Amino acid sequence: MVRRGVRGAAVVLVLIASVLPTASAQAEQDRDRAAPLPLEQLFDNTAVSDDASPAAADFDGAGASLSAQDLAGAGWTPGRALTVQGATLTWPDPVAGGPDNVRADGQSVVLPGQGDALAFLVASTSGADLTASGTVSYADGTLAPYVLTAPDWRRGPLATKAVATAHVNTPDGQLAEQARLYVVTVPVDAGRSVASVQLPLTPDLHVFALSVRAGATGWTGSWATATSGYPAVGPWTDRTLRLVVHTSVGGPRVRLRFDNTFAAAPVRIGGATVAVQDTGAAALATPVPLTFGGARDVEIPAGAQAYSDPLAFEVPAGDELLVSFHLPGPVAAAPVHRLAQQRSYLSEPGDHTAESAATAYTAGLTNWPLLTGVDVAGGPGSVVALGDSITDGDKSTVDANRRWPDVLAGRLRAQSAVPRYGVLNQGIAGNSVVADRYPGDGVSTDSAGVSALHRLDRDVHAQTSVRTAIVLEGINDLLAGRSAEQLTEGLREIAERAHERGLRVLVATLVPCGGEPRCTAALEAERTAANDWIRQNDDDVFDGVLDFDAAVRDPAQPSRILPAYDSGDHLHPGDAGLAAMADAVDLTLL
């Protein structure tokens, strides 16, 4: 009912206004109705300038921009396809000086594809991280929200960057200040095809590229390692590296993954082969050549990765492979996993990848440079062990593969009650849950890696066909003076982020370290508090608890490792202790 008179007219006007859309709401509705377009047709901002013409771009609204020369020096050239975290993204190829990114304002982007995640190449220009939401449209007509966080291009963490450049261009001159770009992934339903993506309504969030990360259907991770730093090496020029790796599962085809993590410049692999080890650097048979996109060689841009083409090659389970690759060089620094607990080999000058004999391999290596993964065809998927030196196998017998994830893989191979998952060891000696040891950029002598929180997406979520994560980490946080509360908040975040990806998360209690000089009574109190929290949150936060503390502690002195299980330093279990930990894993939890 509408009242009469002037007052009533006012009421009528208010009622009418309440049902008419505001200008901003109308604009949002118009965007929602607009047909999705390819991202490059929506570019409305120019982020990259030539050093000679810095005023041609204005990324942040204040005239600053990225250096085209710096990006080219990193291998990020216009139109180049880059693989980061398993997703292929194309660096924009604009008309010279033209727009090369989208300021996120609710645009609808056509993006057909099926996979496990959306991958965004992004940065914020707000001066801080930006968290915003958008919508995924599936081909079946259903919609689903997503949330992403874009770090700031000048202040965001170097530990999670895809690439950093050495300069920022401004109309007043070039600044010796790093600029950063990030690849951020968000999960999607792998069982449905994506049709389009609506970007967030956050104009200071810039999107350079967008793709659906194809799932690793048909592949299982058999071996993996985490990049722990970017140290000086060699320098290597015209050398062949022959790395020894221990498989967890086998299969009839293989593909390898090389990562140029943390780098500032590209690295070229001149050729690569795979073989089964005989002894030392000698192969059982002639090594089989690998290709990359049909080519024998591959250049890996800074921060990117390269997968070899699938190769028909029978990978044995629980055996050693020789992965040989030639570096034409010069290579003065490289991404490395420092603590291999496995002897590998470096050749005299030349490409010796095809040689089965060990003659040319005259020097030894105790780390794994560049190589980060071996996948095999088929299989049920993989379990990832995220941890520190205890998972990395510190103090275990070299060349014996007695790390606890290796023993767990052997248990899985020997049974048939649960699937025979691959086991991927992502332990890094010295690593912490909540703080970076390696800063995430530049050549460094510290090889303890970026924090578990900063490497989680790369070292767990992006691993091949991962199903379950086992987290055993935190003693280094306590040794550094952090509290049990700080540690457990980090563990909670790991679980929450992994659950968003549909992963199971098992957490392990921290093993005792009494007798190690730094393991004081105060630290023992924090370790006990952390373990109490872990055990109490079995159902609320995690999908299961592995009580490694109970498996290796001395019943007579619970703050210490049982002498028979102690490596001798009172911090790291020896071979027998690592086996006891692996034996304590309830396989049905995997």
Mean pLDDT (whole number) for 193-199: 98
pTM beyond 0.75, yes or no: yes
> Are the C-beta atoms of 17 and 25 separated by less than 8 Å?
no
Question: In 3D, which of 385, 408, 403 has the Cα closest to residue 587?
Answer: 408
Measured in residues, the chain has a length of 590
May I ask the CATH architecture of the domain 380-590? 3-Layer(aba) Sandwich (3.40)
In DSSP terms, 169 is beta-bridged to: 65, 174
- Statement: residue 13 has pLDDT above 80: no
Confidence band for 283, pLDDT divided at 50, 70 and 90: very high
Distance between CA atoms of 210 and 120, rounded to whole angstroms? Answer: 5
Angle at 212 between CA 291 and CA 462, to 5 degrees: 65
> Are the C-beta atoms of 67 and 174 separated by less than 8 Å?
yes
Distance between CA atoms of 371 and 386, rounded to whole angstroms? Answer: 18
> What DSSP letter does each residue of 21-62 carry, written as one string?
PPHHHHHHHHHHHSPPB-GGGG--B--EE-TT-GGG--SSSS
Q: What sign for the dihedral angle of Cα 347, 351, 353, 358?
A: negative
Tokens standing for 485?
A: 């509360």
Distance between CA atoms of 138 and 125, rounded to whole angstroms? Answer: 30
How many CB atoms are closer than 10 A to CB 141? 7
> What DSSP letter does each residue of 113-132 carry, written as one string?
E-SSEEEEEEEE-SSS-EEE
pLDDT 10s digits, 376-387: 999 999 999 999
- Statement: residue 140 has pLDDT above 90: yes
Question: In 3D, which of 431, 338, 45, 408 has the Cα closest to residue 205?
Answer: 45
> Are the C-beta atoms of 233 and 334 separated by less than 8 Å?
yes
- Statement: residue 149 has pLDDT above 60: yes
Alpha helices in 369-474 (DSSP H): 389-392, 404-413, 452-456
- Statement: residue 177 has pLDDT above 90: yes
- Give the C-alpha distances (Å, rounded to integers) separating 312 from 251, 275, 285, 407: 9, 12, 15, 28
Buried b / exposed e over 259-284, threshold 16 CB at 10 Å, is: bbbbbbebbebbbbbbbbbeeebbbe
Mean pLDDT (whole number) for 335-359: 98
Question: In 3D, which of 87, 113, 189, 120 has the Cα closest to residue 458?
Answer: 87
Percentage, residues of the chain above pLDDT 70: 94
Question: What is residue 429's predicted lDDT score, i.e. its pLDDT?
Answer: 98
399 vs 216 pLDDT, higher one: 399
- Statement: residue 14 has pLDDT above 80: no
- Statement: residue 16 has pLDDT above 80: no
Question: What is residue 1's predicted lDDT score, i.e. its pLDDT?
Answer: 31
Q: Phi and psi of 482, rounded to 5°?
A: -80, 160
Confidence band for 12, pLDDT divided at 50, 70 and 90: very low
Tokens standing for 466?
A: 């991962």
Q: Give me the half-sphere count of Cα atoms (radius 13 Å) on the Cβ side of residue 357.
A: 2
Characterise 378 by phi-psi region: left (phi > 0), alpha (psi -120 to 50), beta (else). Answer: left
Question: What is residue 478's predicted lDDT score, i.e. its pLDDT?
Answer: 98
Tokens standing for 235?
A: 């320098």
The residue ranges of every structural domain in the chain are 25-213, 232-368, 380-590
Across the beta sheet with 194-198, what order do the strands follow?
A: 108-113, 194-198, 130-138, 143-150
Widest CA span of the chain, in angstroms? Answer: 104
Mean pLDDT (whole number) for 111-131: 97
Distance between CA atoms of 249 and 519, rounded to whole angstroms? Answer: 38
- Statement: residue 22 has pLDDT above 80: no
pLDDT 10s digits, 222-233: 999 999 999 999
Q: End-to-end CA distance of the chain, in Å?
A: 64
Question: What is residue 95's predicted lDDT score, i.e. its pLDDT?
Answer: 67
> Are the C-beta atoms of 164 and 264 separated by less than 8 Å?
yes
- Statement: residue 18 has pLDDT above 50: no
Burial of 4 from C-beta contacts in 10 A (0-12 / 13-18 / 19+): exposed
pLDDT 10s digits, 411-445: 999 999 999 999 999 999 999 999 999 999 999 99
Distance between CA atoms of 94 and 102, rounded to whole angstroms? Answer: 12
Alpha helices in 58-208 (DSSP H): 68-73
Distance between CA atoms of 304 and 337, rounded to whole angstroms? Answer: 16
Question: In 3D, which of 392, 386, 368 has the Cα closest to residue 462?
Answer: 386
Average pLDDT, the chain: 94
104 vs 8 pLDDT, higher one: 104
Percentage, residues of the chain above pLDDT 90: 92
Mean pLDDT (whole number) for 172-198: 97
